[in-house]
Structure 1
Amino acid sequence: MIERLETGTRMSKIVKHNGAAYLCGQVGDGQSVAEQTRDCLSRIDALLKKAGSSRTQILQAIVWLADISDFDEMNSVWDAWVPEGHAPARACGEAKLARSDLKVEIIVTAAYPA
């Protein structure tokens, strides 16, 4: 069974299937990469909770940066957010994001208890 939460015309914010919760890409507010990353991760926390999951259950994360030179600044926030011993499989790359003011977008897949 597939369960879709917060579904709109274009996408669902969460899709749950076979013990995995797929979150749509999250962006954050703020001027700096660190501010946007913190806000983005806060939004991910809220979606994980709604999906019945948590940071410790993240299976995979994909991080897109508008400028790969911001890698260290984003990681300083990411590293403090990920619980010790629960680092997910992760990829990070540079991409042109949907708006010129966006510096980071993160996509997460997490397990949830059945």
Structure 2
Amino acid sequence: MADIERHHTNQRMSQIVKHNGTVYLAGQVGTAGASVAQQTQDCLDKVDALLAEAGSDKTRILQAVIWLADMADFDEMNGVWDAWVAEGHAPARACGEAKLARPDFTVEIIVTAAA
């Protein structure tokens, strides 16, 4: 049976879980109250750092799930996302609207990647 590695763990969640060659990241949020573009960039910077720590990178992302507090922000978020995604390595992706943990969060990004 393959071992499960958990990093940056507390009672509620782990920021990184590795199992059987796959890296699962907790949902990442940006600076509360910042613009949608800035929150998106903050999320992606955190994703980059966590993937590097897990021995992976954005070219190995299998799936991304993006939650927006308001779908009216779709184009602003995508402007940052599109500049960040490595050409030829776009993951399977879903984007939807959801009430996030705090009203001053506008974007949350969840990533699964190959190690």
Structure 2-normalised TM-score?
0.96
**1:75 and 2:78 are equivalent in the alignment:** yes
C-alpha distance in 1, partners of 2:98/2:73? 12
The share of aligned pairs that are identical, in percent, is 72
Please give the per-residue CA displacement for 1:28-64, whole angstroms capped at 9, x wherever unaligned.
0152100100011001100000110000000000000
Q: Which of the numbers 3, 20, 34 marks the counterpart of 2:22?
A: 20
In structure 1, stretches of 5+ residues that fail to align are none
| Partner in structure 1 of residue 107 of structure 2 | 104
C-alpha distance in 1, partners of 2:7/2:113? 15
**Number of residue pairs aligned between Structure 1 and Structure 2:** 112
| Partner in structure 1 of residue 97 of structure 2 | 94
C-alpha distance in 1, partners of 2:92/2:71? 19
C-alpha distance in 1, partners of 2:34/2:13? 27
**1:8 and 2:39 are equivalent in the alignment:** no
Secondary structure of 2:94's counterpart equals strand
Structure 1-normalised TM-score?
0.96
**1:38 and 2:31 are equivalent in the alignment:** no
RMSD of aligned alpha carbons: 0.7
Q: Which of the numbers 54, 58, 71 marks the counterpart of 1:55?
A: 58
C-alpha distance in 2, partners of 1:89/1:9? 30
Give 1:23 deviation, angstroms: 0.1
In structure 2, stretches of 5+ residues that fail to align are none
Secondary structure of 1:64's counterpart equals strand
Which runs of 4 or more aligned residues in structure 1 lie more than 4 Å from their structure 2 counterparts after TM superposition?
none
